[in-house]
A and B are shown apart, each in its own frame.
Chain A
Amino acid sequence: MERLTPRVRVVWLVLALFRAVVLAGLLVGAAVALSETGLWADPPEALVPGAAALALAIGLVRLAVAWRRYAVWRFETRADSLYIERGVFTRTKTVAPYVRVQHVDSRRSPLERATGLATVVVYTAGSRSADVAIPGLTPDRAERLREELRALAIESEGEDAV
């Protein structure tokens, strides 16, 4: 079983932080707006601090999940299929047979480029195709994995893959 590059935690943490900040801004902003504009005639004292605490709690959970995600993530290129294990709360184990592979992408978001990482996405005709994405690979490994998957997919050529 192969693990992801540990650096992927940086990507996930930055993303989690960004989302937590946006959410905190919305929550606290809404609370301040409610208490300042008088839309709510008599808001309780604890409204703004409460919103801030909630935002902080959610943010911390997000960060913890982002950190923990790395420990759970595993994948393996088996003889006939790609196997992926992931998920902090809901743990998902996916088997994607090579016969079903439609095409393989490797892609790099700006954040991934900054950290020197890449994602390989395997598409099947299945409706949950986007589920089969392997993040946190070094560009080199991503390239090799993509080639490997492509070769395996061609080797196990099926009929009309739908």
Chain B
Amino acid sequence: MKKLHPLSVAARSISRSVNVGLLFFVAGVVASPGGAGATLVSVGGMVLLGIVAAVVYELAYYERFRYELTSDTFDVASGVLARRDREVPLGRIQNVDVREPILARLLGLAAVHVETAGGGQTEVSLQYVGKEEARRLRRQLRRGARTEGETSAESASSDERASSDDEELLFEIQPRELAILSAFTIDPGASLLGGIALSFLSGLDPTALVPADLVDGLPGAEAGLVALAWLVALFLVAAWIVSAVLTFARYYGFRLTRVDDELYYERGLVQRYSGTIPLEKVQTLTITERVPFRWFGYGALAVETAGYAPGQDGRGTESAIPLAGYDRVLALARSIEPFGELALEDPPTRARERYGVRYLLLVAVLVGAGYPLAIVTPLERWYLPAALVVLVPVAAHLKWHNRGHQLGDRYFLTRTGFWSRSTKVVPYYRVQAVLHTQSIFQRRRRLASVTADTASSATLLGRAATAYDVDADAGLEMQRELEERLQERLRARKRERTVGERFGSPDESTLDLDPNSDTPHDSSEEVDR
């Protein structure tokens, strides 16, 4: 059994001390005698107590943490107060991520996170081990998952070969792509950070930022408006700059390589992130084209597995290409799942009418809300939102035009969204259940939405592959078709496997109806067995 890196005590203690120290600082202020007069001694004492408690806890954590990589499982025993022994079968591992947060990176440490499909959170987190050990673990965890019989010595030596020979660079972010990505990505945390930065800049006095000479010449009410607009503009610029810097640091040096049957990504300027995505565990591919990027002909690719748990905000998309030319994204997606040509079928035109009616109602609500507002506030011209009616046909058409689906040879493809158009590629054999839903409004127009549910973690956030607003009967037909093809593909895969077991290397052309569109990891899986 191995222990964590001794320095991990320091790294964990520091990060925990900051949290606990802050908590005890607040507690110290509150608990100070007399209430108002927080004495330096009592607050300092509480903070010190917090830090000492954190260090003691981390020492105990380090002492009690053991892990071991056996030939077919990864065993971890941990816990200070409540003990936990965990065995993860290597064959069930979905993703392995290695992260180097800034503090750990300074100390030469890395955290290893192992994801499986079960459970609500990351199954195993090693915080922290040495960098070399992290690399070794990442390789062996995945290698062990593939060739369970191999001894560690052999695999260690073949590791070196694998890293030099078989590594195929799939994607490396170009400076231009990184620049575009940084300039147009809105990081949700950035507005907060931008606001904080601004308030510090101004010395916590917002009026200091307003150019006095600009405002002075104007009468009272208008001066207030100008000042407000000025502040909003400043805030937006600050948020934008912070967002660009954060995005730049996050995706700096992004590389995606392919080693045997798994993808390996690396990224990050200050904090380094890397990890593996086994191709045989891919549930869904999502190609996202957000609006400013789509105009430049760029898109993003997410490779979804069942590994990431819900609520791990956006972590599922770590296994993704942040931005690349659309053609390149498509080519990469095809190299992972060869889904062939995109020939998406539009929804029926009455779906477009439906969106038109929906947006008309929206405008009506806006106008309706404007009227009482105009009565109680000095605002006039409550009917102005009605001008939005002009946009209704455009919006309805765009929404309709960006939706579509395709029942491919081996893949179910769906597309939706104008602002962020996402195209999902679901292999039939990954489908878990098929849902045919009709809201009241859809029933009026004989429309339905067909969802192919998969175990992909992203679908938990309501982003399952759904063909929106197809004809109701066609939807039922599609549902039947999806289920049939699921069964058929499962049988085919099973046949491939059993034949593979019997003959070692099966002749694929006799097994597959269409060898050209065979998935590459299908064949690599056979070789394994």
* A94 in contact with B434 (CB, 8 Å): yes
User: Interface residue count for B (Cβ, 8 Å)?
Assistant: 37
**Option from A80, A93, A124 in Cβ contact (under 8 Å) with B436:** A93
* B117 in contact with A125 (CB, 8 Å): yes
Q: Which residues of B are found within 8 Å of A99, using beta-carbon distances? A: 486-487, 490
Q: How far is the CA of A49 from the CA of B92 in the complex (A)?
A: 60
Interface hits, B422-466 → A, CB 8 Å: 431-440, 443, 451, 453-457, 459-460, 464
* A126 in contact with B483 (CB, 8 Å): no
* A127 in contact with B487 (CB, 8 Å): no
Interface hits, B449-502 → A, CB 8 Å: 451, 453-457, 459-460, 464, 476, 479-480, 482-483, 486-487, 490, 493-494, 497
Query: B306 near A: Cβ within 8 Å?
Result: yes
- Which residue of B is nearest A99, CB measured? B490
* B435 in contact with A127 (CB, 8 Å): no
- Which residue of B is nearest A125, CB measured? B455
* B439 in contact with A89 (CB, 8 Å): yes
* B486 in contact with A97 (CB, 8 Å): yes
**Option from A80, A95, A124, A125 in Cβ contact (under 8 Å) with B479:** A95
Also in contact, A127 and B490, with CB within 8 A (given A94-B433, A95-B434, A100-B432)? no
Residue-wise interface mask of A (73-93) relative to B, using a CB-CB cutoff of 8 A (1 in contact, 0 not): 000000011000001011111
* B435 in contact with A92 (CB, 8 Å): yes
Q: How far is the CA of A132 from the CA of B435 in the complex (A)?
A: 10
* A92 in contact with B436 (CB, 8 Å): yes
Q: How far is the CA of A133 from the CA of B433 in the complex (A)?
A: 13
Q: How far is the CA of A33 from the CA of B433 in the complex (A)?
A: 48
For the complex formed, measure the closest distance between the CB of B202 and the CB atoms of chain A, giving whole angstroms.
35
Q: Which residues of B are found within 8 Å of A91, using beta-carbon distances? A: 437-438, 443
* B487 in contact with A80 (CB, 8 Å): yes
Residue-wise interface mask of A (132-162) relative to B, using a CB-CB cutoff of 8 A (1 in contact, 0 not): 1000000000000000000000000011101
Q: Which residues of B are found within 8 Å of A95, using beta-carbon distances? A: 433-436, 479-480, 482-483
Query: A36 near B: Cβ within 8 Å?
Result: no
- Number of A-B residue pairs at CB separation under 8 A: 94
Q: Which residues of B are found within 8 Å of A128, using beta-carbon distances? A: 433, 435, 451, 453, 459, 464
User: Interface residue count for A (Cβ, 8 Å)?
Assistant: 26
Also in contact, A127 and B434, with CB within 8 A (given A97-B483, A97-B487)? no
Interface hits, A78-130 → B, CB 8 Å: 80-81, 87, 89-97, 99-100, 124-129
Also in contact, A94 and B435, with CB within 8 A (given A126-B459, A127-B455, A127-B460)? yes
* B435 in contact with A162 (CB, 8 Å): no
- Which residue of A is nearest B463, CB measured? A127
For the complex formed, measure the closest distance between the CB of B283 and the CB atoms of chain A, giving whole angstroms.
8
- Which residue of B is nearest A124, CB measured? B432
Interface hits, B262-287 → A, CB 8 Å: 281, 283
Q: Which residues of B are found within 8 Å of A81, using beta-carbon distances? A: 483
* A90 in contact with B490 (CB, 8 Å): no
Q: Which residues of B are found within 8 Å of A162, using beta-carbon distances? A: 117, 281, 283, 306, 455
Q: Which 6 residue pairs spanning A and B have beta carbons closest together?
A: A126-B432, A126-B453, A125-B455, A93-B436, A127-B459, A127-B460
List chain B positions with a Cβ less than 8 A from chain A: 91-92, 117, 281, 283, 306, 431-440, 443, 451, 453-457, 459-460, 464, 476, 479-480, 482-483, 486-487, 490, 493-494, 497
